[in-house]
């Protein structure tokens, strides 16, 4: 899952990001409201964790702008404000949930899981790819009804390639999906994940080709 964290408290934002990345999510961290709105308008996210008090543009304004444009991405608001009216304003603006700081990561994790379960299944949430079936909402990969268990990072690499079937995906794009845009990750790390994933998918008629100097391309074995 690709999650955007919009929080101007750098320590808190990085702490949340570390926890979510450790669970296998791709995370982008932004600290400015206007930058966040620009990013979310141009790039996709499966879920947004959004602080209310932000420089340039407050979180409620970011939220209203996204909803006005028809973007219904699930959004959890974070704020130190605990009064009833702030909670009402946030929910009326289109937030899916509301979490008051300080909070425990276990609670944030639970709320994220609840939003994932609440998300309505739409056509295309479960897609067949050769002999594989991929449940995009539940992040489950199966073959003939039997789950193909992949470590979180490898599953994230699969998701990145799956979203761009038969297209060349650069190492930078994969690293961005895994760790967030601009993360300082050695290319060798991506190569290791690709190698492991290739070995696991090959017996099921899926191949990951290397386009030297360009990246990787996933498709069905001919």
Structural domain boundaries of the chain?
Answer: 2-118, 126-220
Lowest mean pLDDT among 4-8, 93-97, 107-111, 122-126: 122-126
In this prediction, residue 82 carries a pLDDT of 66
In which residue are the tokens 């309505």 written? 120
CATH of 126-220, one of 3.40.50.1370, 1.20.1510.10, 3.40.50.300, 1.10.10.10: 1.10.10.10
At 67-81, the pLDDT tens digits run 999 898 999 999 877
CATH of 2-118, one of 3.90.45.10, 3.40.640.10, 3.40.47.10, 3.40.50.2300: 3.40.50.2300
How far the first Cα of the chain sits from its last, in Å, is 30
Mean pLDDT score, 52-69: 94
Please, is 180 exposed, middle or buried when counting C-beta atoms within 10 Å of its C-beta (0-12, 13-18, 19+)?
Answer: buried
At 148-179, the pLDDT tens digits run 888 888 888 998 888 887 789 999 888 877 77
Q: What is the mean pLDDT of the chain?
A: 86
Q: Residue 60: which region, alpha, beta or left (left: phi > 0; alpha: psi -120 to 50)?
A: alpha
pTM summary value: 0.65
Lowest mean pLDDT among 26-30, 36-40, 127-131: 127-131
Which has the higher per-residue pLDDT, 197 or 127? 197
Q: What are phi and psi of 38, to 5 degrees?
A: -60, -45
At 176-214, the pLDDT tens digits run 777 766 666 777 889 999 999 999 999 999 999 999 889
Which has the higher per-residue pLDDT, 85 or 27? 27
Written as six digits, the tokens of 9 are: 């408290």
């Amino acid at each position: 899952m690709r999650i955007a964290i919009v929080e101007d408290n750098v320590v808190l934002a990085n702490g949340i990001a570390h926890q979510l990345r450790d669970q296998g999510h791709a995370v982008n961290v932004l600290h400015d409201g206007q930058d966040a709105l620009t990013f979310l308008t141009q790039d996709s996210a499966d879920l947004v964790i959004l602080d209310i008090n932000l420089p340039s543009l407050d979180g409620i304004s970011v939220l209203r702008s996204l909803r006005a444009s028809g973007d219904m991405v699930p959004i959890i608001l974070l704020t130190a404000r605990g009064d009833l009216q702030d909670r009402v304003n946030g929910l009326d603006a289109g937030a899916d949930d509301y979490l008051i700081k300080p909070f425990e990561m276990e609670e944030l994790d639970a709320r994220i899981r609840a939003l994932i379960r609440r998300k309505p299944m739409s056509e295309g949430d479960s897609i067949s790819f050769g002999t594989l079936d991929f449940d995009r909402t539940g992040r489950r990969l199966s073959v003939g009804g039997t789950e193909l268990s992949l470590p979180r990072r490898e599953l994230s690499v699969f998701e990145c390639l799956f979203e761009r079937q038969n297209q060349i995906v650069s190492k930078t794009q994969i690293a961005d999906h895994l760790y967030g845009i601009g993360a300082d990750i050695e290319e060798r790390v991506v190569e290791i994940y690709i190698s492991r994933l290739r070995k696991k998918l090959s017996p099921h008629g899926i191949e990951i080709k290397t386009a030297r100097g360009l990246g990787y391309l996933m498709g069905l074995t001919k």
